[in-house]
Amino acid sequence: MARAEAVEPRFQPGDRVAVRIAYPPGHVRTPYYVRGKAGVVERLCGVYGNPEELAYARPGLPRQPLYRVRFRQGDVWPDYGGRAGDTIDIEIFQHWLEPSP
What is the chain's Cα-based Rg? 14
- Separation of alpha carbons 51 and 77, rounded Å: 26
Contacts with other proteins, 34-73, as mask; x by CB under 8 A: x----------xx-x--x--xxxx--x-----x-x----x
The residue among 79 and 101 lying less far from other proteins, judged by its C-beta, is 79
State in Å, rounded, how far the first CA of the chain is from the last one.
35
Report in angstroms how near the CB of residue 11 gets to other proteins at its nearest. 15
Q: Does 95 bind other proteins (CB under 8 A)?
A: no
Residues 73-92 that bind other proteins (CB under 8 A): 73, 76-83, 85-92
Per the DSSP assignment, residues forming a β-bridge with 48 are 64
